[in-house]
Homo-oligomer: A and B are copies of this chain.
Amino acid sequence: MGIIERREREKTERKAQIMRCAKELILEKGAENVSVMDIAKRAELSKATLYLYFPSKDLLFMDICNAAAVRFIENFRNRLYPGLTAIETIKLYWQCYLDMFGESDEMVIVFSMWQYLSPGYPFLSLEDAAKPLTIFEFYTDIQNMIAQGIAEGTFDPAVDPAMIARTILSLFSTAVENTAKLPKDARNVRFIIDETTNLFQIIIRGIARDGLDRALLNLPTLLEKYEPKALSSKTG
């Protein structure tokens, strides 16, 4: 039985290795410039071997995209408290983003794969999406947070949650993808985090109900972490 397990482990490891190589290349050259040959060379395998682990280039890319997206979403959902206000949830969401992005290039991968696979996706309509990407759940999550915020009187009721979700995703996607297209050494993770944080902050303010105290809307940053336990007023 040890053998079977070891085989399993090796297979997983190989898949992971291939995905790692593909990710490197995506980060280096941009998704649309990565060919199956490139990945094979980097992984020191033959093209044919790649196809042993992934049935097609698209599915390899989808796996890469989903793996990171799943990690993010699970992390976020695990840290969710019942009874959080919309703005608290948003802050938590953002904290998860900072945590994940601070550690790795995962977010870059998520968004650039996403653009590659479903280019026009979230901006226009959900229905046009051809491929089942986990990242689509980002859309739902964000939409829900905005809707809850409207219900709680935090956000302007004239605002369309779906449109805001689209916008936020587009912004991140663009930010991240643009970064991914730069040569790797020019890339500055820290910068991306600051930039996307500012963007998100602006949008949150832009959709806030008129007259709301802005102090409530401050998102966590790399310097100021958000601790949901402390903030969520379970007693009140």
Contacts and interface: CB of A to CB of B under 8 A. Distances in A.
A45 interface: no
- How many copies of the chain does the oligomer comprise? 4
A179 interface: yes
Contact of A170 (B119, B171, B202, B208): B171
Given A120-B181, A195-B123, A210-B214, A175 B186 contact: no
A interface majority secondary structure: helix
Given A177-B119, A206-B203, A128 B182 contact: yes
A120 B182 contact: yes
Interface residues of A, number: 40
B207 A119 contact: no
Contacts of A119: 30, 177-178, 181
Contact of A167 (B124, B186, B199): B199
Contacts of A76: none
A205 interface: yes
Interface string A194-222: 01001101111111101000100000000
Contact of A128 (B121, B171, B186): B186
A176 to B, nearest CB: 9
A58 to B, nearest CB: 14
Give the 5 A-B residue pairs with the shortest CB-CB distance, closest first.
A206-B206, A202-B206, A120-B181, A120-B178, A123-B178
Given A119-B177, A203-B203, 14 more contacts: A120-B180, A124-B188, A128-B182, A160-B198, A163-B195, A166-B195, A167-B199, A170-B170, A170-B178, A171-B174, A201-B206, A202-B207, A205-B205, A205-B208
